[in-house]
Structure 1
Amino acid sequence: MRSLKKILILLLVALFSLFLISCGKSSQVNNANSTAATAETKTETHKTLGDLKIHYIDVGQGDSELIQIGDKNILIDAGTSDKKALDYLKSIGVTTIDYAIATHPHEDHIGSMDDVINNLKVGTFYAPKATTTTKTFENMVDALKNKNLKMNVPKVGDQITVGDATLTFLAPNSAKYEDLNNYSIVCKLKYGNNSFIFMGDAEDVSEGEILQKQLDIQADVLKVGHHGSHSSSTGAFLDKVNPKYAIISCGKDNDYGHPHKETLDKLNAKNINVFRTDLEGTIIATSNGNEITFNTKPIDKTADIPGGGNKKK
């Protein structure tokens, strides 16, 4: 009888030991699965973004920028009526503009917008609530009508999301301005940890309104307002944006002396790397969400270069 009790006790001890070993293995498996899941989550959080490209197109004394995110295209302005913007878009194989933005109705910004609308497929079209009686503006409106496209007026704070990029509208902030330049649509593009601001021809008045509203305008790259004119890029605005790079779109030996010396001096004083289409042609910025590279080098601040005039415009 005592022998039977001993056997039963030994069996119970053995079964209990097996149970403990089984629980230990299960815990190890669960811990391993948990670690793997955590690693997978971290990988997703730190995923690498594809390249975003921004083409600051050389259109002479004008403005035109193409933003490419994957297979999507955003066009901001289209230069003068000489079709340089359209020719460039065709040369790199662009057939569709998913979003087109006419910052304001000056010929050096919308001159070839009718050509773009007539020759390419255009999705959504944005423009400020500002009109002129010029033939250039009429041509753009007629092209929109022919393609059954609506002219959308964005509000400050409205956003366009394309893939991992977000474009936010920052201006205009008033209904009426004395100068047509201040109707310019200003927008900020955020891509990962990189940001880009596009100013159109917005002048100090518009910049002041943006600052007053305390909008988020910090950016790595600033497309300088009004071709580098002294009417734009106030010290307070540059301090808030605090860019590493500045792009000036202007024509070689233009009649306005753009970019003005006053603006160049401000940019140089803040040690901002400056690129100019009149000196370097089309400038292409490439971002992976963390780093930005360019197809050319910044201009030499110490070199004797053209521009830096002070004619009023």
Structure 2
Amino acid sequence: MRNLSKKHYLLIIIAFLLVLTACAKEQVVKTSQEKTVGTEAVADVKGNLKVHFIDVGQADSILIENGENNMLIDAGNNMDSDLVVNYLKREGIKKLDYVIGTHPHEDHIGGLDAVINTFDIGKVYMPKVTHNSKTFKDVVTAIKNKGLKITTPVVGSKIVLGDAQGVILAPNSKEYKDYNNYSIVLKLTYGNTSFLFTGDAEDISEEEMIRKGFDLSADVLKVGHHGSHSSTTLEFLNKVNPAYAVIMCETGNDYGHPHKETMDKLKNKNIPVYRTDENGTIIAVSDGEKIKFNVNPGDYSYGRGSNTEKASINKNKSSQDNIFTAKAESYEEKAYVDKNGNGLIKGNINSKGEKIYHMPDGAYYKKVNAEVLFKTEREAQEAGFRKSKK
């Protein structure tokens, strides 16, 4: 080296600088490449991401915390309003940066009006579909009274919650026959971990997400529609390929959730299942690398099953002038509507706090006031109401 001239030293330095420049350019190209929808760049994270699957019985309510940033996905039934509000207060929540009402069913948005009225709210996301229930109208009124506007979900749009990166994956169509498929589906990535929140999205919505080539892979899957057979197709489950699954349902619920078909798929893939009907409130904590739960996994047991569910929904098929037949899932379900298309089945909460629905030919139909009207028995049952015995 002592025999090298100044000219040689200069050439060596220039060559070294050229190598550094080439490496820098390559890195810029890599970081600027477009990513598939649903794939988020892994960022450095600080602290933990806490996901609370709040036990609200046969309903959904999920609180997500990252530092001072908070999000609420759904808020249970109307009767869960105090439960959800008090839970958030115990967690020290004062502001919710995002509130998501996945779809207009009462077991998902029932407590949203109380939440919106109680806390400082940033953005409210709801799908572009209306419902004729009092519950839906109460939520819209609360949003207006707070001076807020509803943000319609746009597939591919990003949501930033502290160090967590979210992307909206559904709904992908403007119209569905079933409200469940309007569900907002959100994938949330925190460091090297990810969560997929599906609301009640059914096989139709799942197939759309697969067909569009979205990155559905996630460590934790919030199983769609309370573990119903109408969601979690095998193809969808394979695409998500979760390490853990969470099912939100109530012990002994009238729908037989979770269904055998869904539990068998999870069992066959050896996916640990955390269930609110067995575990109560479930809290998943991610440090960006690993996810820990506050409870042990539940089992793969299931409810009554889909055949019983279908039979109960098909009861009392009496013929009336104001009834027409509409196809729902894989069976024929009758809708009770007036000439303007308004539901005729009355939903009422009695003095004991029980949620009862009354058919037009029921003994008490004319005596009760409707707090909410339904078009089908299935719609009433999904909102947490049981049929009057008379």
Q: Same fold (TM over 0.5)?
A: yes
Q: Does residue 52 of structure 1 match 2:49?
A: yes
CA 1:47–1:263 in 2, change beyond 3 Å: closer, same or farther? closer
Output the CA distance in 2 between the equivalents of 1:250 and 1:163: 29
Partner amino acid, structure 1, of 2:275: R
The CA deviation at 1:100 is 0.4
Does the aligned pair in 2 maintain the 1:253–1:306 contact within 8 Å? no
Count the aligned residue pairs.
Answer: 275
TM-score by length of 1: 0.83
Does the aligned pair in 1 maintain the 2:256–2:304 contact within 8 Å? yes
Deviation string, structure 1 residues 159-184 (Cα, Å, up to 9, x no partner): 01122211100000000000010000
Output the CA distance in 1 between the equivalents of 2:85 and 2:124: 16
Q: Which residue of 1 is the match for residue 305 of structure 2?
A: 309
Q: Does residue 71 of structure 1 match 2:73?
A: no
Where 2:136 maps in the other structure, the secondary structure is: helix
Where 1:253 maps in the other structure, the secondary structure is: coil
What are the residue-to-residue correspondences of 1:1-313 with 2, within 5 Å? 49-82=46-79, 83=81, 84-301=83-300, 305=301, 307=303, 309-310=305-306, 311-312=309-310
What RMSD over aligned residues (CA atoms) do the two structures have, in Å? 2.4
CA 1:47–1:149 in 2, change beyond 3 Å: closer, same or farther? closer
Deviation string, structure 1 residues 212-256 (Cα, Å, up to 9, x no partner): 001010000000000000000000000000001000001111110
Does the aligned pair in 1 maintain the 2:78–2:111 contact within 8 Å? yes
Deviation string, structure 1 residues 64-112 (Cα, Å, up to 9, x no partner): 1111011100110011011122221122221211100000000000000
Does the aligned pair in 2 maintain the 1:155–1:169 contact within 8 Å? yes
Partner amino acid, structure 1, of 2:58: Q
Partner amino acid, structure 1, of 2:178: D
Deviation string, structure 1 residues 196-224 (Cα, Å, up to 9, x no partner): 00000000000000000010100000000
Output the CA distance in 1 between the equivalents of 2:152 and 2:247: 26
Partner amino acid, structure 1, of 2:183: S
Does the aligned pair in 2 maintain the 1:264–1:308 contact within 8 Å? no
Task: Return the index of the structure with the highest Cα Rg.
Answer: 1
CA 1:115–1:215 in 2, change beyond 3 Å: closer, same or farther? same
Structure of greater relative contact order (alpha carbons < 8 Å, 6+ residues apart): 1
TM-score by length of 2: 0.67
CA 1:166–1:46 in 2, change beyond 3 Å: closer, same or farther? closer
Does the aligned pair in 2 maintain the 1:262–1:308 contact within 8 Å? no
Partner amino acid, structure 2, of 1:152: T
Partner amino acid, structure 2, of 1:144: I
Unaligned runs of 5+ in 2: 3-8, 10-41, 311-377, 379-390
CA 1:212–1:72 in 2, change beyond 3 Å: closer, same or farther? same
Does the aligned pair in 1 maintain the 2:185–2:198 contact within 8 Å? yes
The CA deviation at 1:306 is 5.9
> Normalized per residue, which structure has more helix?
1
Unaligned runs of 5+ in 1: 1-15, 17-22, 24-44
Output the CA distance in 2 between the equivalents of 1:94 and 1:162: 14
CA 1:48–1:72 in 2, change beyond 3 Å: closer, same or farther? closer
The CA deviation at 1:154 is 1.4
Output the CA distance in 2 between the equivalents of 1:208 and 1:85: 32
Does the aligned pair in 1 maintain the 2:259–2:302 contact within 8 Å? no
